[in-house]
């Protein structure tokens, strides 16, 4: 099997920027992208004219040409969109590092702008026809699930989650303990939607069913409006810029045969996330990075069952053991794998995953609100894309 | 909305997927089979991913299978459907998997591994789609 998709130590995150995260931004995705990109460039002291590469991922409604003419990029030599929607969110690190390593670009802006709540299409809404933002590789669910009323990301992923719970004897309460942890982190993060609003396991269990028997209301990420942008450049150039450079130590991806974005129903065994298994193998076994070296992890928690499933698939515990791993406190600040310290997509907000890279960068700069002591190595993953970030 | 006014939306049919949905409207459950290496596949696609052959047959399936997973969908609610929606993945005996609905079964009786058989539910525009109900008699193939 080909194992080539791995880029190491070629580039660094030099700047980060974001808008506020809200339920009603009151402005377009294009404007939100402009604002976060401007903030990210200011963060590292670069100008739009320094940028020659741009990358986002599918389901982003921002048109590249409009972004270029709005921000004032002068000459873009390289651009890309990673497939798999939010599952491709961490792929922007692989694509940007690849472009820089190859010489195709020198300074890359990675971005995502979203109006998941107030936009033309609510992300959690019931869709029965392809929407303008469901394009690219996102239309398969509409074809094969829509006539059956299986209309939302929660309902698509639930079919995998129920099989997971059945195979390993996992309960909704087992999953809920992960949600309680995310909400504890969000409670002390002023940028989080659920700032100062922690929950108990009873709150979780008593919230209404979205999909029975695996997804309560409180298992769902927040439909959020906002934008995040990253400025990525060579390690050498990043060292001369004002912020502590966050090195992309390894970046990889694993889009497997028969996979879809969220309606990922056609692999043989849906009780494990095989794309994450392949990703973990590449990021750790192929690099010499060790799982015990990860000081802080960001794991794409669109819905809480996949938080547990990815912890297992990435190799932090055995299959079926994440429920104990979570219950034993390993995700806490003083645990072995502090995870989603911003509150995650469930607690902070859902900028389609990219706010997790923002949080990892803050951790490695030492500026996170829930700071892990002396964090040197961070893992960022979204199902089938991911990276290991380090600071010198 | 009364039950009589609820109408399941018609499938989104593409040139690649029409082979499946057109047969369903005729009351047939089908899959593509590679005419070269004989491997069945679903969802439909133009090339056999195993041998790269473009030669394809469309074969009728027995319509029996096993529930691989299920979920009861409560929110959000779309006016075309009854809630909770009984969603399922069914592994057909020939070896392909479908996303579908379970009918004629109580929530408490739905189990992973239960045997089911196809029937066809009306959808908009005179189309029909394959759905499944319990079938205790059929043997696992």
Distance, in Å, from the CA atom of A270 to the CA atom of A159, rounded to the nearest integer, reads: 9
A–B CB contacts, 8 A cutoff, strictly below: 111
Structural contact between residues B47 and B136, judged by C-beta atoms closer than 8 angstroms: no
Cβ–Cβ below 8 Å for A270 and B11 = no
Strands B85-92 and B97-101: antiparallel
**Average pLDDT score, chain A:** 94
Q: Is pLDDT at A209 greater than 80 in this prediction?
A: yes
Residues of A in contact with B72 (CB under 8 A): 209, 211-213
Residues of B in contact with A217 (CB under 8 A): 75
Structural contact between residues A92 and A117, judged by C-beta atoms closer than 8 angstroms: no
Residues of A forming the active site: 300, 350
Per-residue burial over A165-175, b = 16 or more CB atoms within 10 Å of its CB, e = otherwise: bbbbebebebb
A residues 253-292 lying closer than 8 A (beta carbon) to B: 257, 263, 265-266, 270
Look at A4 and A335; give whichever has higher pLDDT: A335
pLDDT digits (tens, 9 = 90+) for A27-50: 999 999 999 999 999 999 999 999
Residues with Cβ within 8 Å of A38's Cβ and at least 6 positions away in sequence, in order, are A17, A71
pLDDT digits (tens, 9 = 90+) for A156-203: 999 999 999 999 999 999 999 999 999 999 999 999 999 999 999 999
Question: In the structure encoding, which two tokens stand for residue A276, read together?
Answer: 């994450």
Q: What is the DSSP string of A191-232?
A: TSTTTT----HHHHHHSPEEEETTEEGGGBPPB-EEEEEEEE
Taking residues A253-266, what's their average pLDDT? 92
Distance, in Å, from the CA atom of A8 to the CA atom of B130, rounded to the nearest integer, reads: 48
Q: What is the pLDDT of residue A139?
A: 58
Residues of A in contact with B97 (CB under 8 A): 265-266
Tally Cβ neighbours within 10 Å of residue A20: 12
pLDDT digits (tens, 9 = 90+) for A73-130: 999 999 999 988 999 999 999 999 999 999 999 999 999 999 989 887 788 888 776 5
Taking residues A325-330, what's their average pLDDT? 98
**A151 close contact with B: CB closer than 8 A:** yes
Distance, in Å, from the CA atom of A299 to the CA atom of A133, rounded to the nearest integer, reads: 24
* CB nearest A149 (choices: B17, B69, B73): B73
Distance, in Å, from the CA atom of A263 to the CA atom of B61, rounded to the nearest integer, reads: 23
**A129 close contact with B: CB closer than 8 A:** yes
Cβ–Cβ below 8 Å for A211 and B17 = no
Tallying the residues shown for chain A, one arrives at 392
């Amino acid at each position: 099997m080909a194992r080539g998709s791995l880029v190491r130590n070629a580039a660094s995150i030099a700047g980060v920027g974001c808008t506020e995260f809200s339920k009603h931004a009151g402005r377009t995705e294009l404007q939100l992208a402009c604002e976060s990109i401007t903030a990210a460039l200011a963060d590292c002291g670069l100008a739009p004219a320094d940028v020659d590469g741009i990358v986002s991922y599918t389901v982003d409604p921002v048109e590249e040409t409009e972004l270029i003419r709005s921000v004032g990029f002068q000459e873009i030599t390289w651009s890309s969109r990673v497939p798999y929607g939010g599952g491709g969110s961490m792929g922007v690190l692989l694509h940007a590092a690849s472009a820089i390593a190859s010489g195709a670009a020198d300074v890359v802006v990675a971005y995502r702008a979203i109006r998941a709540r107030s936009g033309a299409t609510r992300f959690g809404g019931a869709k029965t026809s392809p929407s303008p933002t469901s394009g690219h590789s996102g239309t398969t669910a509409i074809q094969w699930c829509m006539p059956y009323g299986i209309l939302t990301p929660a309902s698509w992923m639930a079919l995998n989650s129920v099989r997971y719970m059945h195979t390993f004897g996992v309960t909704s309460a087992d999953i809920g303990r992960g949600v309680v942890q995310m909400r504890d982190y969000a409670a002390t993060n002023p940028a989080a939607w659920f700032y100062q609003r922690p929950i108990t396991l009873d709150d979780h269990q008593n919230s209404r069913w979205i999909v029975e028997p695996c997804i309560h209301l409180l298992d769902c990420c927040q439909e959020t409006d906002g934008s995040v942008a990253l400025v990525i450049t060579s390690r050498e150039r990043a060292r001369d810029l004002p912020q502590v450079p966050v090195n992309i130590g390894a970046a990889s991806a694993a889009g497997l045969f028969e996979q879809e974005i969220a309606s990922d129903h056609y692999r043989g065994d849906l009780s494990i996330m095989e794309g994450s298994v392949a990703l973990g193998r590449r990021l750790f076994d192929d690099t010499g990075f060790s799982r015990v070296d990860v000081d802080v992890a960001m794991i794409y928690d669109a819905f809480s069952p996949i938080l547990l499933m990815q912890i297992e698939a990435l190799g932090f515990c055995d299959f079926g053991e994440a429920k104990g791993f979570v219950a034993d406190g390993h995700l806490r600040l003083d645990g072995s794998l502090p995870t989603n310290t911003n509150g995650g997509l469930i607690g902070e907000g859902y900028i389609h995953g990219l706010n997790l890279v923002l949080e990892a960068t803050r951790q490695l700069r030492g500026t996170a609100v829930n700071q892990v002591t002396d964090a040197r190595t961070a893992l960022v993953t979204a199902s089938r894309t991911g990276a290991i970030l380090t600071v010198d | 909305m009364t039950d009589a006014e609820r109408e399941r939306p018609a499938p989104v049919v593409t040139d690649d997927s029409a082979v499946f949905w057109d047969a369903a409207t005729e009351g047939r459950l089908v899959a593509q089979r590679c005419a070269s290496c004989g491997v069945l596949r679903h969802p439909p696609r133009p090339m056999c991913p195993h041998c790269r052959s473009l030669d394809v047959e469309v074969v009728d399936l027995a319509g029996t299978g096993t529930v691989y997973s299920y979920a009861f969908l409560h929110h959000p609610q779309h006016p075309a459907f009854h809630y909770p929606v009984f969603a399922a993945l069914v592994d057909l005996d020939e070896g392909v998997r479908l996303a579908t609905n379970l009918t004629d079964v109580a929530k408490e009786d739905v189990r992973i591994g239960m045997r089911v058989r196809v029937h066809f539910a009306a959808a908009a525009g005179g189309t029909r789609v394959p759905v499944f109900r319990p079938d205790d008699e059929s043997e696992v193939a």
